[in-house]
Amino acid sequence: MSSSSNSTPRPAHQFGSEEALQRLKRRHAAERRFKLYGQIAIGVALSALLVLTYSIISQAIPAFSKHQVVFDLTLDEATVAPQGRQDTQAISNNVSGFYSLLQDDLQARFPEGAEDRAGRRELGELVTRLAVLDMAHKVARTPDMIGTTHRFTAPLADDLDLYLKGGISARSKLGFGVVPSLTPTENGQYLATGVNAEAASRAGRLLNEADDGPPSILLDFVGTWMRLETVSGTELTLSHLAGPRPSESLSGIAPKGLMIQVSEGNRSISDRLIAWTLMLKADKRIKRHFNTDLLFKADSTYPELAGAAAAIVGSIFTMLITAFFALPVGIFAAVYLEEFAPKNRLTDAIEV
């Protein structure tokens, strides 16, 4: 018998040399590394997507709600419909008349804001003029409302809305304990004596150690808001901001302290505006609602009245027009490259 007939056949999975086996091992290792690199890349991409999505959602969530001020208004015909109830177009356009009703209501609620022109201007910053448009349109649709009292809501000014959502400035609560005596002074300020020494010392350090202007320290004496001006030992010098102005000495009151870190001169809203806003909120005159204007209103110079309706509609039309032109062009291009175009590297690259 020949030697070939006595030889044992080699298994199919074996290779003819050690070099071939080593090449196979290196190829398998390279495939494993490639797979690992792909998994790492996918993981990094997903992590970046999650971080980006969280950032977008967390920053966008406050925009989906807004604070509105509640008003109980008597619709005086001479104010809201000077040309008569039948002229609904004039009623709908009467921004000044409806805004004056809001201002009268706010001035009656906060008489300290009606004492001079500067105070009235500051009080007007709670609600912007165009915030009454929805109110005017509603009355124009139902003229029978004129002459009666109804409850309306108007968007709170944008900066104050942002403050209530935690923006504008960091803030923290301060405790002062029971104030034994609060006495009015001759210059219109107030002197709180016998204040807790530790609390007074802490407040003094906060006022004196700030680098970029002193923080605002506000005290709520059960509906009367005051601002801390100076600290001397256990005595606090306060100025009145909002609420009933005490004409006599008070005693035994434990005020609630609020420190606003950014100084009044470095922010867009004053201490008095903040005090008025917090008083309205305490009286349940400020409510937080879903911001439907964001979806159904267009651009506005007033941020609290602006919406994304124009952007949404524009994006939809852009996508429709793009799809209208891109789909047929893409289909025709694919058919041409597959059936009619010459086969070369250029057409292969375009097809890919």
Tell which wins on pLDDT, 96 or 7: 96
> Would you state the torsion angle of the CA atoms of residues 341, 343, 347, 352, taken in this order, to the nearest 10 degrees?
110
Best CA proximity match to 277, nearest among 183, 189, 171, 184: 171
Average pLDDT estimate for 187-201: 89
Instruction: Quickly name the fold that domain 171-267 has.
Output: Elongation Factor Tu (Ef-tu); domain 3 (2.40.30)
Q: How confident is the model at residue 169 (pLDDT cuts 50, 70, 90)?
A: confident
Vertex 39: Cα angle to 37 and 41 (nearest 5) = 70
Q: Taking residues 298-320, report their average pLDDT.
A: 77
Segments making up each domain of the chain, as ranges = 63-164, 171-267, 310-351
Residues of the chain with pLDDT > 90, as a percent, come to 38
Q: What's residue 9's pLDDT? A: 53
What is the band of 249 on the pLDDT scale with cuts at 50, 70, 90? confident
Q: What is the largest CA-CA distance in the chain?
A: 133
**pLDDT tens digits for range 99-142:** 999 999 999 999 998 888 998 999 999 998 888 988 999 999 99
Look at residue 4 in the predicted model and tell me its pLDDT: 47
Question: Residue 270 pLDDT > 80, yes or no?
Answer: yes
Is the pLDDT confidence value at 257 over 60? yes
Q: Which amino acid, residue 162?
A: L
